[in-house]
Amino acid sequence: MPVRFIQITDTHVAETPQSLFYSYSTGGALNAVLKQIAENDCHGVLFIAQTGDVIVSFRRPKSYDCVKSIYGLRGSPAALGPLTISAEGLNLPWYYAPGNTDERSQCLARLFPNSSPTRFFNYCWELQGTRFLSLDWGASGVDAYTLEPETFAWLKKQLERRIPTIIFTHHPPVQVGVEYFDKMTPPDLNRLHELIASSSVIAIFHGHTHYPWENRIDQIPVFGTGSVAPRISLHDSTRLVLEIHPPQYRVVTVNEDGSVTASIHEVPLQF
C-alpha cells in the first residue's frame, strides 16, 4: 500500500499563541495549518514530520510549551518519537527533526522528558516497507552547518541496509541556487552526496530556507517546503527584509513502485 505523510517546517512558535514573530502570529499560522489539515480529513496521511525550527529561538525554550499546546501533543515516549497530535480533533503521530533555532536539551526536557540525553536527534522508524530517518547535524544558534562526524557515521551505518528510505533533515543537503542560503552549506557537501547517491534513499525533505524547492542528488529528489513563519526576501540582497507568504505544508505519497509524489498546500492568510 502507498504511504502518505505531511511535512511541516519552520513554524518559529514563541511563548504564547498570541506572541508575534516580526509582527506576525506564528502560533495563529500553525493553528490555521492544523485546521486545514483536519478539514481535509488529514489528506489520508499516516503521520506528520516537522523538519526543524519549531520554536522562535534557542534562547527562548519556554516556547516548546506553547508548541506542545498548539499541536495538542500527547504521549511520553521512552525514545525520540513519536508524540501524538490531538489539536483540531487530529490523531496523528508527530516526528521531529530539529533545526538551528532548537536547543536540544530543552527540547528533550519539555517534549520528550522520558528520552535519554542525546546530542543529536538521529533516529529511524519503518512503515509498510519504507524506512524514515531523522538526520540531525546539531547546528544550534547558527545558520551554517557542518557534516558532524557522529551524524555522518550514523547515516553511513543506517544506509548499509538497503531498504527504500526517506530522509528528514533541517538544512538543505544541496545548494538551492541562492547565495544567501548556499553559503551556509559545508564545503565538503560532495561527500554527503556520494554517500546518498549510492544508497537506497528515494527522497529527502528539508526546511531552513523557508522556501519551496525541488532539487536532486543524482536521481534522488530533494524537496524543500515553504515555512509557516515569514520568509527572508530574495529580492533585496543588501539588507534583511522579511516577507509574509501563505503558510505551506507538503503532502507526500510513497507509491508502491517506490516513486514519490509531493504536492504543496497553502493556507489562506485569514488568521
- Quick: pLDDT tens for 57-115: 999 999 999 999 999 999 988 889 899 999 999 999 999 999 999 999 999 999 999 99
**Across residues 128-145, what is the average pLDDT?**
95
Tens of pLDDT along 160-185?
999 999 999 999 999 999 999 999 99
Q: What percent of the chain clears pLDDT 90, i.e. is strictly above it?
A: 88
C-alpha cell at 150: 557522529
Burial 122-150 (b: 16+ CB within 10 A, else e): bbbbeeeebbbbbbbbbbbeeeebbbbee
Compute the distance between CA of residue 10 and CA of residue 248 in angstroms, rounded to an integer. 10
Q: What is the mean pLDDT of residues 210-222?
A: 97
Cis geometry, peptide bond prior to residue 187 (ω within 30 degrees of 0): no
Q: What is the mean pLDDT of residues 250-267?
A: 96
The model's confidence at residue 267, banded by pLDDT at 50, 70 and 90, is very high
pLDDT score, position 121: 97
Would you give the end-to-end CA distance of the chain in angstroms?
A: 36
Q: What are phi and psi of 215, to 5 degrees?
A: -125, -175
At residue 190 the predicted structure's pLDDT band, cuts being 50, 70 and 90, is very high
Q: What mean pLDDT do residues 129-137 have? A: 97
The pTM score is: 0.96
* Cα angle, residue 144 at apex, residues 143 and 146 outer, rounded to 5°: 145
Give the mean pLDDT of 233-246.
82
Amino acid at residue number 37: I
DSSP letter string over 43-67?
GG-SEEEE-S--BS-TT-TTHHHHH
Note the pLDDT of residue 147.
Answer: 95
Measure CA 151 to chain center. Answer: 17
Q: Where do runs of H (alpha helix) occur along 216-267?
A: none
Q: Taking all residues of the chain, what is their mean pLDDT, rounded to a whole number?
A: 95
Owner of C-alpha cell 496523528 = 92
Bridge partners of residue 168, in order along the sequence: 134, 205
Looking at residue 165, its pLDDT comes to 98
- Considering the chain, what percentage of its residues have pLDDT values greater than 70? 99
State the pLDDT at residue 269: 84
What pLDDT shows up at residue 237?
64
Q: Which helix (H) or strand (E) holds 32?
A: helix 26-39
**172, 209 Cβ separation under 8 angstroms:** yes
Tens-digit pLDDT profile for residues 137-159: 999 999 999 999 999 999 999 99
The answer to whether residues 163 and 200 touch, using CB atoms and an 8 Å cutoff, is yes
The helix (H) or strand (E) run that includes residue 254 is strand 248-254
* Whole-number Å distance between alpha carbons of 171 and 40: 29
Tell me the pLDDT tens digit for each residue of 9-28: 999 999 999 998 888 999 99
Determine the average pLDDT of the residues in 31-46. Answer: 98
Confidence of residue 271 (pLDDT cuts 50, 70, 90): low
Supply the pLDDT for residue 12.
97
C-alpha cell at 157: 551505518
pLDDT for position 1 = 80
